[in-house]
Each structure stands twice: as structure tokens, then as C-alpha cells.
């Protein structure tokens, strides 16, 4: 078997892409999207019809058209995978619990109008305190959530307290920060701080019997993926999936769930504890803020793209 096939035996493989053709070719179990990936795909000629369709009836409401674009991509992706697609809400709502809940409900309603069962959709929210509280409310309504931009154990703990379905701890962006701030250090192999972060979160969840599943994300190279083989899920860009597909080297599971007969109950974090622990972690604080800003920039670019398309029709 090639490494992608081997990985699929121990981990649910998820495509991190809005490129439907790539997803169709690689046949992952699930797929994730975000504002940056949707923007990238929206500029390809093959997907212009998804934008045109989203504008119908929304020519004067570009925000609604953007929301429909993300759903249109999600619906197309779901035609090529057996599992779920993750659809992210507007990053500019990351500090507004009420608005995040309303946006998530609107997205789910659009999926339902397209004939898609809500169980095939994960709503992605940034793992701010407000985003996590929004997810807690959505989960109680039966809407499953994927908390993204996770860079710390504090965020992971708060997500578990909220009962979210899935979290996406980032690997590559953590490594980026450490390489920039500690350029003299060796971060290869199992010394990679992004890999260490995901392993720490994974072990915490398993040791405490937490049902929230871990989906490692944001990979810079295939070695990071190999280091996390065995994680519940891994969401991987198409170029790295192809590299795995091209190799037949052995790929053993690096992570194994710890079996504990009576797992210890983890103490819930208060808002003050969460904010303090996040504040104490310079990397997590900076990367969370940066990630939200970058997604917001791409959201505005998508709005401009749709506005120009509406003007030209």
C-alpha cells in the first residue's frame, strides 16, 4: 500500500481544500474548507457557476451571496465524499457569540434547502471564548461544530467543556512561529512544536475520556503527518496527499489511544482561566489573532469578487 492508503487505515483522512476536482481525484473521507480556500477556488474558471448561482436573488446582499457560495462549494464537495464537510462562518464574528450562532443557523438552513442533512455538515468557528460558547449552544441544538485555529491546550480544554464534536489543532502555523522566534533551534522530527502540541491535546483527551475528536491541521510537510498518524482525523492539503500517495515506505501509527478503565474527570475552565492561560502563551495568542485577521481579509476579498461579478452581469 502507498502511504496514503496506510494512513487511511489508522486515521480518517480529510482533504483541506475547496478544489472539487482535487477532492474527486484523491477521494478522502471528509473535507474542510475555510475563507482562504473558498476564495482560492472561487477564482478558478471551473467554479464560476457556483458564484453565479449564489448571486441569484442576492445581487443586493453580497453577505448573503458569500454565505451561499460557501454552501454551494460544500454541496459540490459532498457529492464526492462519503463523510462530512466543514463550512466556516465569517471570521469577523469571532468575538460575537450571538452573531456566530445566527450565522451558523443560517448556513445550516441553506444546506437543508439544498437537500443536505445537517449531520453531514460541521460548522467551523474560531476557538475564541465567544466562538466556543457559540459552539456549545449549537451542539445542544444538534448542530455539530469544528473549532478551528487551535494553538493551545487551554483552547482544547474549553472546547471539550463545551461538548464540541471536533477540534482542529494547527501544526504548521505553530512551527512557523517557533522558527521565526527561535531560529537557532532544531525543530525537526518529534521536536516539532506543532506536532508536540497536537500529541499533548490528543493524549489529554484520551486520558480523560473526552469524546471530542482531534483533527490535526495546517501541515507544512509530510513528516508532520507521519508523526501524527493514528490521530482521530488529519486534514491535509492535496499536494501533501499526493506526496503520501507517491510513497510506499512503511507508515506506522505514531499515536495510540491510552486505555484507562476509569479516566479522570478534567476540571472545567472558567472564562477568566481560559483567557489567562491563553494570554500566557504568546504563540497561541499571536497565531489565533493573526489567523482570524487573515481569514477576515480573504472574506472581504470574496465579497469584492462577488460584487464585481454582480456589477458585470
Instruction: State the virtual CA torsion across 277, 210, 227, 135 in degrees, nearest 10.
Output: -60
Look at the alpha carbons of 202, 205, 206, 210 in this order and tell me if their dihedral is positive or negative. negative
Count Cβ neighbours within 10 Å for each residue of 276-309 and write b for 16 or more, e otherwise.
Answer: ebbeebebbeebbeebbebbbebbbebbebbeeb
Report the alpha-carbon angle 303-304-305, nearest 5: 90
Residue 117 has, within 13 A of its CA and on its CB side, a CA count of 5
Do 37 and 238 contact (CB within 8 A), yes or no?
no
Q: What CA–CA distances, in Å, run from 25 to 21, 120, 128, 190?
A: 6, 20, 35, 31
Residue with cell 486520558: 207
Do 155 and 279 contact (CB within 8 A), yes or no?
no
Task: Determine whether 124 is an active site residue.
Answer: yes
Of 9, 56, 103, 124, catalytic: 124
* Count of Cβ atoms closer than 10 Å to residue 187 Cβ: 17
Do 291 and 50 contact (CB within 8 A), yes or no?
no
Q: Who's near 54: CB < 8 A, 6+ residues apart?
A: 65, 66, 68, 69, 72, 306
Instruction: State the virtual CA torsion across 248, 173, 295, 8 in degrees, nearest 10.
Output: 20
CA distance 12 to 183: 33
CA distance 35 to 51: 14
Active site residues: 124
Amino acid at each position: 500500500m502507498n502511504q496514503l492508503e496506510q494512513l487511511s487505515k489508522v486515521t480518517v483522512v480529510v482533504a483541506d481544500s475547496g478544489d472539487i476536482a482535487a477532492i474527486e481525484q484523491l477521494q478522502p473521507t471528509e473535507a474542510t474548507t475555510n475563507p482562504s480556500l473558498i476564495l482560492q477556488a472561487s477564482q478558478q474558471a471551473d467554479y464560476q457557476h457556483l458564484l453565479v448561482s449564489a448571486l441569484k436573488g442576492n445581487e443586493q446582499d453580497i453577505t448573503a451571496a458569500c454565505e451561499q457560495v460557501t454552501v454551494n462549494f460544500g454541496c459540490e464537495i459532498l457529492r464526492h465524499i462519503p463523510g462530512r464537510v466543514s463550512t466556516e462562518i465569517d471570521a469577523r464574528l469571532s468575538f460575537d457569540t450571538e452573531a456566530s450562532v445566527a450565522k451558523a443557523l443560517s448556513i445550516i438552513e441553506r444546506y437543508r434547502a439544498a437537500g443536505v442533512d445537517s449531520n453531514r455538515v460541521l460548522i467551523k468557528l474560531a476557538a475564541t471564548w465567544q466562538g466556543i460558547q457559540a459552539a456549545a449552544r449549537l451542539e445542544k441544538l444538534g448542530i455539530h461544530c469544528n473549532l478551528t485555529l487551535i494553538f493551545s491546550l487551554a483552547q482544547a480544554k474549553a472546547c471539550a467543556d463545551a461538548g464540541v464534536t471536533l477540534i482542529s489543532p494547527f501544526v504548521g502555523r505553530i512551527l512557523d512561529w517557533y522558527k521565526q522566534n527561535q531560529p537557532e533551534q532544531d525543530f525537526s522530527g518529534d521536536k516539532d512544536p506543532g506536532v508536540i502540541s497536537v500529541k499533548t491535546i490528543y493524549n489529554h483527551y484520551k486520558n480523560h475520556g473526552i469524546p471530542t475528536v482531534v483533527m490535526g491541521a495546517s501541515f507544512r510537510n509530510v513528516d508532520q503527518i507521519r508523526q501524527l498518524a493514528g490521530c482521530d482525523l488529519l486534514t491535509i492539503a492535496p499536494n501533501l496527499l499526493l506526496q503520501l500517495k507517491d510513497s510506499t515506505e512503511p507508515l506506522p501509527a505514531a499515536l495510540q489511544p491510552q486505555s484507562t478503565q476509569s479516566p479522570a474527570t478534567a476540571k472545567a475552565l472558567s472564562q477568566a482561566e481560559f483567557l489567562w492561560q491563553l494570554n500566557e502563551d504568546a504563540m497561541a495568542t499571536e497565531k489565533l489573532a493573526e489567523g482570524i485577521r487573515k481569514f477576515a481579509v480573504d472574506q472581504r476579498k470574496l465579497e469584492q469578487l462577488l460584487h464585481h461579478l454582480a456589477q458585470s452581469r
